[in-house]
Structure 1
Amino acid sequence: MEGKRRLHGGTRDYHLKHRYGLTGAEVDAMLEAQRGVCAICLTPDPEHVDHDHKTGRVRAILCFNCNGGLGQFKDRPELLRRGADYLEGNVWKPTLVAPGVYRLPS
């Protein structure tokens, strides 16, 4: 713990640098640019650095729920879109085009 504080300024900075390649000041600047709210739901004081799991690129600072939601949908936009359609009452129904072959709705 003393080494993390001496070398990185504390455990927060150590974690951010090790995991995302960012300093605490860079994360604070991102949050300031987002006006202190989650980039998705706009709730105040988000604390979770969101990143692309394939590239490692940091995207934004999110609240716990939005960050977890993206993870549950495996960062797949098409699943999120289908989820939104479902919530809006557009039930997902594949069309049988041949035995065992279905066409997905577009």
Structure 2
Amino acid sequence: MTPHNELRLLPWSSPDGKPCFLSTDDTGGPLSRLADTTEATQLDVGQELLEHAMEVITDSKSDRAELRLLAKDLTEALRDTLRVAVSRGHRLPTPDRSTREGPDGPSRLPAAAFG
């Protein structure tokens, strides 16, 4: 596997809403650790919000204002989760071509492998 040398998308935005990036080879540095902790917190909040959403949408007493607030909160949690996914996806190592392809070309899984 070859290292993937790209900027890390951080789990927060600048004050004007633009994405923030980190350029470092030190994945254990203080800013990297802060980003890791923030990502974990964002994912935990998303999980808790999902559980709350299931309660709200099944409660016939939930009013319009509560549903609008829930939609807003879910939108924010989805935005954060997608940012974490993109950031982590960009940091995955890029496999060497030789490990991706066998003598007969690219490896393929049978359809049954997917359920």
TM-score range (shorter-chain normalised) is under 0.3
Higher relative contact order (CA 8 A, sep 6+): 2
Report which of the two has the higher share of helix: 2
